[in-house]
Chains A and B, each alone.
Chain A
Amino acid sequence: MTREAVREQILDLQIDHATSGLGETERSRLDTLLAQEGETHDTSFELAASAVELVCLGPLEEMPASLKARLRRQGDAFVPRQEHTGPLPDNVTPMRRGSAVETPAQQSAPQPAPERTSGGSNWIPWLLAAAGIGAAVFGWRPIQEPPVQLEGPPVVASVEQRRAVFVDAASDLLSLPWTATEDPAASGAGGDVVWSPERQQGFMRFTGLEVNDPGEFQYQLWIFDGTRDDRYPIDGGVFDVTTSGEVVVPIDAKLNVRQPALFAVTIEAPGGVVVSGRDRIVTLAQVG
């Protein structure tokens, strides 16, 4: 194939990717051709297609209040203690920290990127603005929403105490023992995971899991949901093991878990990842 033909094929694939998406084979072909040409993926076609879609979007509607509240709480986990330094857009409501007790998982949740230096813009106002833009970009049909209930007790309790109260109170509790893999970090590890489908809450308990240096690696929980594609398990939160004794960690599921099928803990780079390479799986707990 001539170089011109390769360039033409790259262009065709980039346009297909931007308009109707690529299958795995086509995607792989595009990656191969780009690598062959020493190029990276050009996002300008996708931006053009996105602009076309926005032109056609039609009237915009409000996002449900309950979803906005969930996004703000979710955002709190990602932006734990950052103070924004720039002015916020007029239409943006600053995210406030939730009333729930901060969990160890939240404390160790993926940390935001360092302050931007290019373009003279701090990233946090943009991040906050995204929640406002979301209402515009994710056009929504107005619906009646029940009052939003914030989760979590308003008083400070140890995570062990909260687990005990949770286990006593949950009527639909799933309690599963961890199975350690052959990964060196899991040598002799044990413990269990408890989860309430109704409350969408749970806790992990570990013994013997290797104490980690958060600057070197962190543990991350993944929850496989029987109703979702198993290539994309739900992120259950990033956490650290600080002692060789018993460690209790609240589960911080980022999405609604409809049908829990498997809980898996992996070792990831500091801050966690969006999609795990599953190179180091340390413990597993299967439902049923």
Chain B
Amino acid sequence: MARKKGLGQQDSEDIVQEIFIELWKSAERFDPSQASETAFVAMITRRRLIDRLRREQRRPSTQMMVPEIHDVADGEHEHLENVVEVSLAGKALAKLKPKERDVLLLSAYHGMSHGQIADHTGIPLGTVKTYIRRGLMRVKDMLDSNGGAAPLQEVEV
């Protein structure tokens, strides 16, 4: 995740160490009845990466492409194929309209702002906001309905 956010090797190694320190210190807050280990680790990782990129005022390139949705059964995701949240999120994304899905991925995967997405796609700003909200709610609802991502107790942000 760090490398795919455009961090160099040294920065990536540093941030991975920072993330592990946070994980070790917040391990007591992990509740397996609320989320899988992988989803919990990924959430902490995203927070750190987003904070880091915002601090450095790095903005995603508007040349970024909408990422491909990988089939978790394609053998490339052998570490992730049993992660319930990944499977459910994949199903939820597949049910979205193509434009809604693309906008959500530009936001959630690339971290692009609403304005950047509007500029990049030509979709009106208000519609971008609606697509992101609707898309993320669908994923969240899918996870919630399967008990995979009920709200955790508050974790230090």
Query: Closest Cβ of chain A: how far from B114's Cβ, in Å?
Result: 8
Instruction: Tell me if A274 and B156 are in contact (CB < 8 A).
Output: yes
Contacts of A91 in B (CB 8 A): 79
Instruction: Tell me if B68 and A75 are in contact (CB < 8 A).
Output: no
Contacts of B53 in A (CB 8 A): 21
With A40-B154, A64-B13, A139-B4 as given contacts, are A49 and B93 in contact (CB-CB < 8 Å)?
A: no
Report the count of interface residues on A (CB-CB < 8 A): 69
| Interface: B152 (CB within 8 A) | yes
Instruction: Tell me if A53 and B109 are in contact (CB < 8 A).
Output: yes
Can you list 15 contacts pairing A with B, beta carbon distance less than 8 Å?
A18-B136, A19-B132, A20-B107, A48-B89, A49-B46, A50-B43, A52-B89, A53-B42, A55-B86, A57-B1, A114-B28, A118-B31, A123-B27, A136-B79, A137-B1
Instruction: Tell me if A18 and B108 are in contact (CB < 8 A).
Output: yes
With A20-B113, A60-B77, A130-B20 as given contacts, are A51 and B1 in contact (CB-CB < 8 Å)?
A: no
With A44-B143, A51-B88, A136-B79 as given contacts, are A255 and B17 in contact (CB-CB < 8 Å)?
A: yes
B residues near A, CB below 8 A? 1-4, 9, 12-14, 16-25, 27-28, 30-33, 35, 37-43, 45-47, 50-51, 53-55, 67-70, 72, 76-80, 83, 85-86, 88-90, 93, 104-105, 107-109, 111-113, 129, 132-133, 136, 139-140, 143-144, 149-152, 154-157
Measured in the bound complex, the distance between the Cα atoms of B17 and A75 in whole Å is 10
By beta carbon, the residue of chain B nearest A70 is B17
Instruction: Tell me if B17 and A58 are in contact (CB < 8 A).
Output: no
With A55-B72, A118-B33, A127-B27 as given contacts, are A134 and B20 in contact (CB-CB < 8 Å)?
A: yes
Interface digits, A20-47 against B, CB 8 Å rule (1 contact, 0 not)?
1101000000000000000011111111
| Interface: A71 (CB within 8 A) | yes
CB within 8 A of A255: which of B14, B27, B132, B150? B14
Query: Closest Cβ of chain A: how far from B95's Cβ, in Å?
Result: 13
Contacts of B42 in A (CB 8 A): 50-51, 53-54, 137
A residues near B, CB below 8 A? 11-12, 15, 18-21, 23, 40-60, 63-64, 67, 70-71, 74-75, 78-79, 91, 110, 112-114, 116, 118-119, 121, 123, 126-127, 129-131, 133-141, 143, 229, 235, 254-256, 274
By beta carbon, the residue of chain A nearest B84 is A51
Which 10 residue pairs are nearest across A and B when measured between Cβ atoms? Answer: A113-B28, A136-B79, A51-B89, A21-B50, A51-B85, A50-B42, A56-B67, A48-B140, A47-B149, A48-B139
By beta carbon, the residue of chain B nearest A232 is B18
Instruction: Tell me if A138 and B2 are in contact (CB < 8 A).
Output: yes
Instruction: Tell me if A47 and B43 are in contact (CB < 8 A).
Output: yes
Query: Closest Cβ of chain A: how far from B55's Cβ, in Å?
Result: 6
Query: Closest Cβ of chain B: how far from A83's Cβ, in Å?
Result: 16
With A40-B154, A50-B85 as given contacts, are A133 and B41 in contact (CB-CB < 8 Å)?
A: yes
